[in-house]
Copies of this chain bind each other. A is one copy, B any other.
Amino acid sequence: MKLGSNPSLLAEVAPSGPERNIKESRIQARNRERILSAATEIFSRYGFRGATLDQIAERAEMSKPNLLYYFSSKEELYLAVLRDILEIWLQPLKELDEKEAPEHEISAYIDQKIEFSRLYPMASRVFANEIAAGAPILKPVLDTYLRDVVKKKARVIRKWIKRGEMADVDPYHLIMMIWAVTQHYADFAVQVDSLLGKNLDEQHFYNQTRKNIKRIIMKGILRN
């Protein structure tokens, strides 16, 4: 799934009409994508206020007024970026299946979260910044959409516990713990680099990371 091309949360007018419009629509789609990608990068580096439309426009190889043709304000652009992120970010959680064994499901979930950190570290940091700043923009979405998704999955975990398939831990805390641990490698990347050195083989690093996280968490939720 590509950032900036998520149709479910980002309202897009369905292009319908003569061929010329279709072509233009392709340009539009490409430009939107380029903008969102550039914005993600710049927002992740400088935060909402720190980022400037100039920087984003330059990264997207586009004039500032043209950028504002696609997203009519800085805030709107920021919101679009956040929505995209949230969707990809929640996708794996939605897939937790109570019919499967918790070991398998939770292990797979951790894998996917780490993969997200590896693939979209900048997106992850935009999200982290927004939340750490008190979610001025995203609060409503957190209070409704996020809350509902998590509530549903907490129920799944509770079922596993009731069935005696895993230890009796608070589902919410477990979920948050997994989030915290897996995102840490994206959000605090500089710090991680400072500690471990930057010259590590990325593939190897993420394997190590995965192994260590799983060793502790999976053992921690085993029924004893």
Q: In the assembly, what is the distance between CA of A44 and CA of B176, in Å?
A: 21
Q: What is the predominant secondary structure among interface residues of chain A facing chain B? A: helix
- Selected from B147, B173, B187, B216, the residue in CB contact (under 8 A) with A174 is B216
A17 on interface, CB distance cutoff 8 Å: no
A47 touches B146 (CB 8 A): no
A170 on interface, CB distance cutoff 8 Å: yes
A94 on interface, CB distance cutoff 8 Å: no
A118 on interface, CB distance cutoff 8 Å: no
Q: In the assembly, what is the distance between CA of A117 and CA of B150, in Å?
A: 23
Across the interface, which residues of B come within 8 angstroms of A195, CB to CB?
Answer: 146-147, 150, 172, 176
Copies in the complex: 4
Q: How many residues of A contact B (CB 8 A)?
A: 54
A119 on interface, CB distance cutoff 8 Å: no
Q: In the assembly, what is the distance between CA of A224 and CA of B204, in Å?
A: 26
Across the interface, which residues of B come within 8 angstroms of A212, CB to CB?
Answer: 169-170, 173-174, 177
Q: Name 28 A/B residue pairs within 8 A (Cβ), A-sorted.
A: A128-B188, A129-B129, A129-B132, A131-B190, A132-B132, A134-B190, A135-B191, A139-B194, A142-B191, A143-B194, A146-B194, A146-B195, A167-B215, A172-B196, A173-B212, A174-B216, A176-B195, A177-B213, A177-B216, A179-B184, A180-B183, A180-B184, A180-B188, A181-B181, A215-B220, A216-B216, A217-B220, A219-B220
